[in-house]
Amino acid sequence: MALLDIVTYPAPILGKPCKLIENIDEDLVCLVEDMTETLYDAPGLGLAAVQVGVDKAMLVYDVAEDEDSEGTGLKVLINPKIVHTEGKVTSENEGCLSVPEFRADVPRFACVTVEGVDQDGKPVKIDAEGLLSIVLQHEIDHLDGKLFIDRISSLKRSMYKRRVAKAMKAEG
Ligand code: NI
């Protein structure tokens, strides 16, 4: 296993849709392991492959709500799709490992149904609400080349972009 570098905005790869995964090979299993380690090290709730520079439709997440549960709540989703949505909600203080030092409230669906396959290639269907629903929408956005800052007001977004531009200039 290895810790992977997390790609941050404005890296162009974060703005491009990912490729669907056609077979689950050894490389992919390896990537899942490395992404898991990277997720827990960060730490974060979810991580999409594109955030470690791999433009494949895969993500890992751990939204363990029961702290007493044994082991981890790590889940792997390959080629996930939102097939149903319900209601509207605003996430509070949403953040992203690829958008460091910035948080915002983001308009989201209250509930989503997600279909995909797990790391064994078995079909999975998840009915999510609450935090899990937000995390899944956030991570699936990554696979579509979208960041949460694409879903906030242009005023807030330009504030963040100016800050990044300034920091990059300062670094030379
Ligand atoms: Ni993110």
**What pLDDT, on the 0 to 100 scale, is given for residue 72?**
66
Q: Does 138 show up as a binding residue in the annotation? A: yes
Q: Is there a catalytic annotation at residue 115?
A: no
**What pLDDT, on the 0 to 100 scale, is given for residue 65?**
63
The pTM of this model reads 0.94
Average pLDDT across each block of 10 residues of the chain; the chain has 172 residues. List them in order.
Answer: 95 98 96 97 96 98 69 88 98 96 96 97 96 97 98 94 92 82
**What pLDDT, on the 0 to 100 scale, is given for residue 32?**
97
**Selected catalytic residue, list 22, 92, 139, 171:** 139
Could you give the domains of the chain?
12-171 (3.90.45.10)
* 121 CA → ligand 1 middle, Å: 24
Taking a C-beta distance cutoff of 8 angstroms, is the pair 149, 157 a contact? yes
For residue 45, the one-letter residue type is L
CA distance 74 to 122: 16
* 118 CA → ligand 1 middle, Å: 20
